[in-house]
Each structure stands twice: as C-alpha cells, then as structure tokens.
Structure 1
Amino acid sequence: MSLLRVLDVSATGMSAQSLRLNTTASNLANANSVSSNREETYKARHPVFAAELNRAKGGLASSVGVKVQGIVESAAPLNQEYAPNHPKSDENGFIYHSNVNVMEEMANMISASRSYQTNVQIADAAKQMLSRTLQMGKS
C-alpha cells in the first residue's frame, strides 16, 4: 500500500471519529431533556461505520477506509417518571426522559478521542516516512 494511501485511510478514520465525538457530545447535551410525548423525547444517536474497500482497475485492492453508513437512534426504552406537577407532564401525569446513558457516552467519548489520536499518529508516521524517502533520493 502506498504511503499516500495510508494518509487517505487515516483521514477517513479521523473523519469518522470526529463524527462519533459530535454525536456523543449531542447525546450528552440532551441527556437531561424532558418531554411530555414519547415521540418527541430525545433518543440517543450512534453512528454506524463500515470498512470501505476501493478497487483499482486491475481488480486489486487499492485502499481501505472507513465509511459512515448512517446515524441510528437507540432502541433502549425511555425513562418514564410520574410527575403530575411538572409543567411538561402529559394528561396522565407522566414525563419522559431521554434514554442517554451518560457513563456509556463518556466511555464512547474517550474511545473516539483515542482512536482519533491514533489516526493522527499514523498520518504523522506516514508523513515522516515520505519525507525520509524524498531525502534518500537527494543523496
């Protein structure tokens, strides 16, 4: 695999982890949201990634990267609370909290941050190898 393609793979990885960090931040920002309707209540969102394999004209694999297939809402149940005096309670006195698990989101944030850092280090190593290769050609 060419060192230039390594930079492409690293870039797709950084882009994917950046999206993961953004969705995690959105989940954490809405963790304490309350609604009077199940449909309107914020549901945790998570990106779905897949390996992407590009094929060259000769049929050989040319590069591998990360493709974002989409963002899905969590299927975890909402937290229902009986609070008849709450201004957002429904006609039965219930309010609905989001299904965001703060501990899980913090773990996702740490994991995404470290994955992003790893991709930066890979890109830096590839850049250094390209630079050394060019210096060898000057000698």
Structure 2
Amino acid sequence: MSFLSSFDISASALTAERQRLDIASQNLANTNSTRTESGDGPYRRKMVVFQEIASTDVTSSRNSAASGSFRSRFNSLLNKNATKGGVRVTEIIEDERDLYPVYNPDHPDADEQGYVMMPNVDPVKETVDAMSATRSYEANITAFNAMKLMAQRALDIGK
C-alpha cells in the first residue's frame, strides 16, 4: 500500500460517515411522521450498511515489473483494478422492528380503536448514532491531517 492511498482510505471513511450522519438526521426529523410521501403508512427507521473495500495487493505486480522496463513498472502501478482499501456504503435498509401504537383518537391517521401507528425511531438511539458518526468523522479528519502534515514534512526535507 502506498503512502498516498491513506488519503483515499480516509476520504472513503469521511464520505461513509457523512452519509451515516445524514441518515441519523433524517430518522430524527421523521420521529413523528405517521405518513410517508408515498402514503405507505408511518416512516420506518433507516440504517446504513457499511462494507470494507478490501485492498488489492499490488506487490506481486511490482515485483514482476521490477526487472522490466520503466514503462511496464509504471503501467503496473497505475493498475485500475487495484483498490486501495477503505469503506463504502453498500445500501440503506429499513428497520423491520415493529411500529408502536399511540392512543390519539383525534389524529387523522387513527384507526377505528383510536390508535395511531408511530415510527420505530428511537430519538436517543439516533442521537447516539449521530454522535458516533461525528466522532468517527473527526477521527478520520485527524488522520487525514496527520498524513498531510507528514507529506509536507517529507517535501520540506527535499528543500
């Protein structure tokens, strides 16, 4: 893994954590939504599914190209199929936990017994998820800035 791939790894984590925070915010905003846009009933909590982007080892192509020409070595290092690792959001799924009934006979979405089905969103859990996403985002910014500082120091050595 090259030094510069660390930037890509941190950037992928920043993107994934931002999306996680967006979903937590969306869930919080819809805590009391008894009707979705499509009219399918109450809002259902959404969750982000992360997946590792496994890094492809390019050392074998490096070793085979080491004895070859500059062009073959350069082309092997620019291999488009080689991934650098990180994380990505593969999907956003709906939480299948049960909705909960609240007695409110005056509500327009109340059934014949006077109960309204409320979203399966727990504001405390969403707040904790948002805080966790924020802390992970901050940690990745710190790592990104540390790598940037190392790159600047390496360039200063050459002066």
Equivalent residue runs for 1:91-110 within 5 Å: 91-110=112-131
TM-score (norm 2): 0.77
**Residue 44 in structure 1 maps to residue 60 in structure 2:** no
CA distance in 1, matches of 2:22, 2:56: 30
Shift of 1:59: 6.7
> Is this contact kept in 1: 2:32–2:118, CA < 8 A?
yes
- Between the aligned residues of both structures, percent identity stands at 35
Alpha-carbon spacing, 1:12–1:91, altered in 2? closer, same or farther (3 Å):
same
CA distance in 2, matches of 1:55, 1:105: 35
Shift of 1:85: 2.6
Shift of 1:134: 1.0
> Is this contact kept in 1: 2:34–2:41, CA < 8 A?
no
Shift of 1:62: 5.7
TM-score (norm 1): 0.88
In structure 1, give the amino acid aligned to 2:136. Answer: S
Number of residue pairs aligned between Structure 1 and Structure 2? 136
1:31 maps to what in 2? 31
Shift of 1:66: 0.3
2:21 maps to what in 1? 21
Q: What is the root-mean-square deviation of aligned Cα atoms in Å?
A: 2.1
More strand as a share of residues = 1
CA distance in 2, matches of 1:7, 1:26: 29
**Residue 72 in structure 1 maps to residue 93 in structure 2:** yes
Query: Please, which runs of 5 or more residues in structure 1 have no aligned partner?
Result: none
**Residue 89 in structure 1 maps to residue 104 in structure 2:** no
**Residue 134 in structure 1 maps to residue 135 in structure 2:** no
Alpha-carbon spacing, 1:59–1:112, altered in 2? closer, same or farther (3 Å):
farther
1:121 maps to what in 2? 142
In structure 1, give the amino acid aligned to 2:126. Answer: E
- Kindly name which structure, 1 or 2, has the bigger radius of gyration based on alpha carbons: 2
